[in-house]
Chain A
Amino acid sequence: MHRSSIFLLIAAALIFSSCQPTLPSEVSETAVLRVMTHDAFSISADLVTQFETEHQVTIEFIKAGDAGAALNKALFTAENPLADVLFGVDNTFLSRALDHQLFEPYASPALANIPPHFILDPGNSALPVDYGDVCINYDKSYFQQAGIPIPASLSDLTKPEYAGLLAVENPATSSPGMAFLLSTIAAYGPEGYLGYWQALHENGVVVVNDWETAYYTNFSASSGRGPQPMVVSYGTSPAAEVIYASEPVAESPTASLVGENMCFRQVEFIGILRGTRERELAEQFVDFMLSKPVQEDIPLQMFMFPVLSTASIPDVFTQNVQIPELPAGIDPGLVEQNREQWLQDWTEVMLK
């Protein structure tokens, strides 16, 4: 019994030590700004510290799943908002946010330096922050060794020489999967895309449910050394392969296919959640996200491109990222209206 009480004491000490230092009750004098983001959000720590000291505020970040999940949580708690600002709604979900009047409009002065084609909401409820392309990445060495040319268009992917070489994500469970589906709809129209997928299906396209599996289990150029040399991923993934290589590399083992309509351009937005009690701080945070230092921080943190035209981009991006001349784009309203129907029809074709 003597020993047991020692064990219990140690256990108790461990438990109670966990609860004490975490609550910053002494600093409750400063205001708190709650910022909800998707899981992929990332930013340099010193930039945030700088903002916090400058504006006498503590920022509390709430990560709420992928872009769709974060949006739905914000909608679900709209009556009693979880946060003051939401970052991460993209153009495929923009209509849902606008239809539900999730955001309070804010015409930030920073918008003056953002090219107008990024400003998809003329009412300025949702302001663009960054953009990127969802593209097919390919394994450079596979195509070199096999001696076949890389596919130049979406329709090339249905040719027999590429049979079984492409892995895509299920659009119902994965946001890059959805983006790729939308690029085929942009290319073939809502009437024609199913025929195209039928052809892809017959050509042995591999469908998995999430990006992690597609990239790390199916893709031959990743550490998983999977069987498919092509995978739906991001246009910036080749740069990530250089930055996060095990050993330093001169150039990326992968690259993107950037033929017409092969990439889907995602734009990510920020908005002030309706009902915020910190409107002024929220506006300052939006301005902060559109300021040059943060915009230049975006590529290496989030692997997206800044919307600010004057922001410079690191060399590793300009060297390793292929930019599509004609990315696919689609009217956000059309996506919101038809999302469920498109997904259902697509699933039926792919399950046959």
Chain B
Amino acid sequence: MRPGTGRNWRWLLLLLPTLYGLIFFAMPLLQVVRSSGFKMGPMTAAGDTVTCVLSFSLWQAALSTVLTLSIGLPAGYVLYCFRFPGRRALRLLTAIPFILPTVVVAAAFNAYAGPNGWLNQAWRAVSGSEEPLIILTGSLVGILMAHVFYNLTIIIRMAGPAWSNLNPRLEAAAQTLGANPWQVFLHVTLPLLRPVIVSASLLVFLFDFTSFGVILLVGGLRFSTLEVEIYRQTLSFYNLPLASLLALIQMACTLAFAGLYQYFSNRPVPLVPASERKAARKPDGWRQILGIGLVIVFLWVFFAGPLLSLTASAFWSIGADRGERGLVAAGWTLDHFAGLAQNRNSDLFYVPPLTALMNSLKFASLTAIVSLGLGLLLVYGLPRQGRWRSGAEILVMLPLGTSAVTLGLGYILAFNKAPFAWGSSPWILPMAHTLVALPFVVRTLMPAVSSIPADYRQSAAVLGAGSWRIFWSVDLPLIRRVMVSAFIFAFTISLGEFGATSLLYRPQYPTLPVAIFRYLSLPGAANYGQAMAMSVVLMLACAAGILIIERSSGFLAGEGGE
């Protein structure tokens, strides 16, 4: 038995997370299942739909995950292990799509690669052909690209820090023993990174598996996932029994995947204290420079392109002279930003941008703090291995595979009457966001915490340190980086979350995504411009949030940043 971790008090740590899970997850779901009632009648005809939708959900998720992984790993390596100009900016850039509402990403891609977007216009100018080079909407390629665009940051933010934390002596030893770089990668680096890669892939896979907005907006008529079908059955057809069945199938699949992955990911990455960590290095040799250069260029084109077009649309005005005379008078303008601050027709539901921004930031910080707290309690409260541990690790993934529509209905039912009449309270929103953030936080913290060598803690205990002291001076410095990653994940998940927000939303507490939707739901160039302007505000808020978190994390460990 390890000193300072007696089992008599350890379970107390689990009290709060368990209570949270019961109230904010289990209870709403049970309410939905109970209210929708299981009659097999309307389901018999649905057999074909279910198989078809299920297989497409799986198929596109698998493809998207492989693609995201094969781009994300080199990107994470380059962004965290090498030093080059613009590294921070690029890291920030790859995190931003994660928070953007799907409608905004669709608009960004349209401005960039749409039929009349920059890419296709350039292609027409160069080739003289009338046909566009790429058509993204309505194709599987479009769906895959959108998924990579969204989720790349998960791989980068999880694999990158782990990679830069690898004990450099292991790789060096392999090299000394005559292994070539490829062999070192295959037999040393990859096995060490495997738990992190597996964790990250699972998260990406589940996000793609339950994909909703991307499928609906980019995929068009032809494609449907379980989540889309649940939405249609619930809100269009009011076929709640079938919707509940689909939701249960989706949850069962989630559990199955989480279990399967659990089976493959039980070897921890040995971490080394900060003093021995290899510093990010400069690229060296023409091959390295070429490889890294390619990755950097790719990231700039793939991420900066759509985001810059989005920003450009916020500053671009289509002038008055189109229409009858057919002239396009356009120009750069700040009007859209100025327009945000005006309530054009004394509308009751007008959202002042500052209010939306403050609400978004408050909800996001609260989500991040709550989910990091619960995550730490879970990770430290659970036994280090064994059946309970594996079971809990699988269970904690469940919210990711739970339909947002179903859960939203559950919240409405569960928090509508005493003693849980919190439906109109502002803090129900961060509680819902925490549900989505928690799997990320736990998956990010877990590999790091379980890989801390036991002898570090033992030595500290022998020297007389108590449990709290051990956590503060042994664990915390070692997991600081992953804690920052986890915090940022939770923060950004909440910032961009719209599914639960739209279901629980009260006009009294509008967030930035809600404001963006309000503008986009009306015709008119000014509405479009202001929606884009609000998106720019959202992107800036996200970037500022990440920067502040990264900076202040340095203080936590007594360092001056990186």
CB-defined interface of A326-352 with B at 8 Å, one 1/0 digit per residue?
000000000000011001000100110
Contact stretch, chosen from A36-44, A105-113, A114-122, A283-291: A36-44
Taking CB atoms, residues of chain B closer than 8 Å to A149 are none
Which residues of chain B (214-232) have a CB below 8 Å from chain A?
A: 216-217, 219-222, 232
Contact, CB under 8 Å: B137 / A217: yes
Residue of B nearest to A170 (CB): B221
Residue of A nearest to B349 (CB): A42
Contact, CB under 8 Å: A247 / B317: yes
Residue of A nearest to B36 (CB): A76
Contact, CB under 8 Å: A245 / B366: no
Task: Using known A-B contacts A82-B423, A303-B522, determine if residue A216 contacts B528 with beta carbons closer than 8 Å.
Answer: yes
B529 within 8 A of A: yes
B38 within 8 A of A: no
Contact, CB under 8 Å: A351 / B345: no
Which residues of chain A (48-67) have a CB below 8 Å from chain B?
A: 48, 60-63, 65-66
Task: Using known A-B contacts A222-B523, A246-B333, A246-B525, determine if residue A44 contacts B106 with beta carbons closer than 8 Å.
Answer: no
Q: How far, in angstroms, from A22 to B506 measured CA to CA in the complex?
A: 12
B114 within 8 A of A: yes
Could you say which of B103, B362, B416, B556 contacts A212, with CB atoms under 8 Å apart?
B103
Contact, CB under 8 Å: B216 / A215: no
Q: Give the number of residues in B that approach A within 8 Å (Cβ atoms).
A: 86
Contact stretch, chosen from A12-20, A123-131, A180-188: A12-20
B558 within 8 A of A: yes
Contact, CB under 8 Å: A213 / B522: no
Minimum Cβ distance to chain B for residue A255 (Å): 10
Task: Using known A-B contacts A15-B365, A44-B347, A223-B529, determine if residue A3 contacts B326 with beta carbons closer than 8 Å.
Answer: no
Contact stretch, chosen from B70-78, B234-242, B440-448: B234-242
Contact, CB under 8 Å: B523 / A46: no
Taking CB atoms, residues of chain A closer than 8 Å to B350 are 45
Q: Give the number of residues in A that approach B within 8 Å (Cβ atoms).
A: 86
Could you say which of A208, A221, A234, A253 contacts B137, with CB atoms under 8 Å apart?
A208
A80 within 8 A of B: yes
Q: How far, in angstroms, from A349 to B236 measured CA to CA in the complex?
A: 19
Could you say which of A217, A234, A243 contacts B114, with CB atoms under 8 Å apart?
A217
Taking CB atoms, residues of chain B closer than 8 Å to A324 are none
Contact, CB under 8 Å: A246 / B220: no
Contact, CB under 8 Å: B235 / A69: yes
A241 within 8 A of B: yes
Task: Using known A-B contacts A42-B348, A210-B216, A212-B520, determine if residue A82 contacts B412 with beta carbons closer than 8 Å.
Answer: yes
Q: How far, in angstroms, from A237 to B528 measured CA to CA in the complex?
A: 13
Q: How far, in angstroms, from A254 to B424 measured CA to CA in the complex?
A: 41
Contact, CB under 8 Å: B424 / A60: yes
Taking CB atoms, residues of chain B closer than 8 Å to A241 are 523-525
A163 within 8 A of B: no
Contact, CB under 8 Å: B323 / A172: no
B13 within 8 A of A: no
Contact, CB under 8 Å: A246 / B217: no
Q: How far, in angstroms, from A208 to B502 measured CA to CA in the complex?
A: 21
CB-defined interface of B500-515 with A at 8 Å, one 1/0 digit per residue?
0011011111000000
Contact stretch, chosen from A138-146, A261-269, A271-279: A138-146
Could you say which of A18, A222, A240 contacts B366, with CB atoms under 8 Å apart?
A18
Q: How far, in angstroms, from A75 to B239 measured CA to CA in the complex?
A: 12
B494 within 8 A of A: no
A77 within 8 A of B: yes
Which residues of chain A (198-232) have a CB below 8 Å from chain B?
A: 207-213, 215-217, 221-227
Taking CB atoms, residues of chain A closer than 8 Å to B425 are 23
A312 within 8 A of B: no
Taking CB atoms, residues of chain B closer than 8 Å to A207 are 220-221
Contact, CB under 8 Å: B362 / A44: no
Q: How far, in angstroms, from A39 to B506 measured CA to CA in the complex?
A: 11
Residue of A nearest to B223 (CB): A209
Taking CB atoms, residues of chain B closer than 8 Å to A23 are 425
Taking CB atoms, residues of chain A closer than 8 Å to B413 are 76-77
Contact, CB under 8 Å: A225 / B552: no
Taking CB atoms, residues of chain B closer than 8 Å to A254 are 523
Residue of B nearest to A247 (CB): B320
A28 within 8 A of B: no
B115 within 8 A of A: yes
Task: Using known A-B contacts A11-B365, A68-B236, A208-B137, determine if residue A145 contacts B346 with beta carbons closer than 8 Å.
Answer: no
Taking CB atoms, residues of chain A closer than 8 Å to B240 are 76
Q: Other CB < 8 Å A-B pairs besides A209-B221, A253-B322, 4 of them?
A: A7-B555, A77-B412, A224-B110, A240-B523
Q: What are 7 residue pairs bridging A and B, where the CB atoms are less than 8 Å apart in the complex?
A: A45-B350, A212-B103, A222-B528, A224-B107, A246-B318, A251-B324, A254-B523
